[in-house]
Structure formats: structure tokens, C-alpha cells
Amino acid sequence: MNIYKQFSTGYFVVILFLASMFCISCDEEHTKISNDSIIVLDVFDQNNKQISELAGDGETLLKLQARIAPEADDKYRKVIFKISKGQFMSTASGTQFEKIVDNNGIAEVYVKVPLDSGPLYLSAEIGSDSDKYISEKQIKLIDPGQIIKLEILDQNSTPISGEIKADATTILTLKATVDLNADAIGSIKFSASGGTFLGVNNESNTVVIKNKVAIIQYKVSKSVGELYLQASASTKSNIFLNKTMLLSRAFADHLILEPNTLSIDSADDQVQVKTYLTRDIGKVSTGTAVYYKAFQADANGIEFEVGRFTGLAEATTNDNGQITSVSFVSDTGDVDFNKSIIIRVSTKNDKNEMISQSVTLNKK
């Protein structure tokens, strides 16, 4: 066995002795042996750092580097790289790739990791038959869903206590932590089903990772219900984490009524009642219900309903906290036009109490 073109007799004896020692248990098919003194395989990430685990995101590239002695004989200068899964960047398919070492005894290839988790087996081998030498590595592929951790905190970056109102004012802090491959991922893109991200100068809401953390502030919308949030690697679409949270209704503290007239004297008259709902802090959630009632009182002060309302099917607040669809119509035959008509509008507050405001219509 002649591994090197030029070497001293003593060095040849040592290599021959090592090879024979590793072949003591070889069977008739010349089982492959591992000998890192003859060939060494190293695995690097995109930042040229040696790694033992990374995201199985289907996108990240690994560099496989095989090293042998620069003066190795020609029959040992071809390296066969093998992978258990993934793809060599120099070929469209296959889990094996051959490359000749350079003058320094180095051969490098790039591998795209699969979208998978679990062990990834890598090897580099030289020689053939009984003179075959292998260096092997195992990389742990981590489920991409486990790479990003997303926390929803209050404006001061402390844990949230209590419900969050859909008031278009409350500010939350979204904190994405990347414990693995943070340098290669680089930045985090935040997205939400509604609301507004604050403090970023780009439309993609992308934040650079610093010390494995990316933080952005977010102002909620006025939409009640499930809020969908996502933190994803800006350059790796398969690395992301979704979260949901419930936005509860921000009810009104005050009602403001604006009828288009305060007088009525016939069944042909209609009164449009514009209604505005406001809050002391923030805004009223979209779709907040308002209830309408028109009544007169008899000689004993007992109230009885009169007339009717149109537009009640749309009697919920729009994005501006307004209701403009409702009108009072006095064509029902039960209105005494010689008496005042009181229109009372009610809605709930955050304490689940009914609050109301009234206007009085008189004869012209």
C-alpha cells in the first residue's frame, strides 16, 4: 500500500502499521474504516463556524470540507462526499458528490439541508476497496418551528396581566428570541392580522437580531376577536412561529346623539339619529352594538313605546365609532303628536352596565 508519493521509510512504516491496525476486523468485503489522521471532515455554517446542530429549514447551506495530506498519491485525491438527506448545491439531485482536492489537500462542497428534523449523516471518503478511508460527522437538524420563540408582552416588556382591549390605542411588545443559528438568520419579520407596527422604517416590519433577540412594538386595532401574529426569519421562509391572542371588546364610556331635527308633527316625518360612541382612553371597538327605543308617557307617567326605527340591522359602530343608519319613523299609528317623543339610545360599558343618552322630539 503506497499512500504518498514522497515520504521517508519510517513514515511509510507508521502509516502501514496504522492502516493494518484499523483493518484487523475487516471482513471479506473490506469494511470501511475511520481514520481522521488520514482524512478529516469538518462541517461549517454560512459564517464559517463549525457546528453540530442547526435548523432543518430546507434552505440553510452547510460547507463540507475534507482535508488530506497535500502530497497524497493521485488515487487518494478524489473525495467522495455522501449525505443521508438534503441536496448538494453542485448537482440537482443525489446524496453523493465527488471532488478532487486542491494543491493544499482540501476539497469543499456545499449542501442545502432538508426541511426535516433529526440526525443528518455526512461523510467524506478516499481510496477504494481495502484502501478506503472515511471521516464521518453527524449533525442534529432541529425542527424549524422550535427555533423562534415569540413572547407577547405589554408596552413596558413585562408579562401581560388581564385582557387586552381592541381599542386602537393599547401598545404591545413582541419579542422574538432565536437561540439557534441567529447569525445566519440575521433578522426577523413580524406580521399581524391587524393593527400597526411601530418604530420601523421598512414596510416589511423587519428587525435585526441583536444578542439573539428581535423586538418590535405593536398597536392593536379596533377589531374584536382572534389576533394572529407571526415572527419569521426574513430570509428563510420555513422558519417561523405563529401565535394568537384574543382582543376583547372596548365598550363605550359615553354616547353622543345628533338627530337631524328635534321636532316632528306628522306620520310622514322621519328623524335620523346619528350616534357616536367614545371612550375616556382609546377608541370603541368596531361593531359595538347600540340599542334604540322611542316612547311617550301617559297621564300617570307610565312609558309606552311608539313608532319604529329603520336601519337597526346596521346599528353597530363603524371604524370611527359612529352609527348613521338609524332613523325614527312615526307612521305606526300609535304616536300622539301633541306629546313629546323621547328617543333613548343605550349601550354597554366595560363594566357590563348599560349607559344611555336621550333626545326629546316636540311638535313643530
Q: Say if residue 7's pLDDT is above 60.
A: no
Q: Which pLDDT does position 92 carry in this prediction?
A: 62
pLDDT digit string (tens) for 302-358? 999 999 999 999 999 999 999 999 999 999 999 999 999 999 999 999 999 999 999
CATH of 9-142, one of 2.60.40.10, 3.40.50.300, 3.40.720.10, 1.10.3720.10: 2.60.40.10
* Residue-level pLDDT at 94: 79
pLDDT tens sequence across 53-100: 988 888 889 999 999 999 888 889 999 999 999 999 977 667 899 999
Band of the pLDDT at 36, cuts 50, 70, 90? low
Listed residue (137, 104, 142) closest to 121, CA to CA: 137
Q: What is the pLDDT of residues 123-182, one digit of tens each?
A: 999 998 888 999 999 999 998 778 899 999 999 999 998 999 999 999 999 999 998 778
Higher pLDDT, 26 or 234: 234
pLDDT at 145: 74
282 in Cβ contact with 257 (< 8 Å): no
| Beta strand pairing call for 164-165 and 236-248 | parallel
Give the per-residue pLDDT at 115: 79
**Per-residue model confidence (pLDDT) at position 15:** 42
> Given its phi and psi angles, is residue 25 left (phi above 0), alpha (psi -120 to 50 degrees) or beta?
alpha
CATH of 254-361, one of 1.10.3210.10, 1.10.600.10, 2.60.40.10, 3.40.50.1440: 2.60.40.10
pLDDT of 18 higher than 80: no
Average pLDDT over residues 94-121: 92
CA–CA dist 241, 229 (Å, integer):
8
Residue matched to cell numbers 428587525: 207
230, 169, 319, 307 alpha-carbon torsion, rounded to 10°? 130
Judge residue 47's burial from the number of C-beta atoms within 10 Å of its C-beta, 0-12 exposed, 13-18 middle, 19 or more buried: exposed
The answer to whether domain 145-248 has CATH 3.40.470.10 is: no
Using alpha carbons, select from 6, 3, 40 the residue that is nearest to residue 18: 3
Contact at 8 Å (CB) between 227 and 244?
yes
DSSP E strands: which ranges in 220-351? 225-233, 236-248, 254-259, 270-278, 291-297, 303-305, 308-310, 322-323, 327-329, 341-348
**For the chain, which residues make up each domain, given as ranges?**
9-142, 145-248, 254-361
* Residue 252 pLDDT level (bands cut at 50, 70, 90): very high
Q: What share of residues in the chain are helix, strand, coil (percent, to 5)? A: 10, 50, 45
pLDDT at position 35: 65
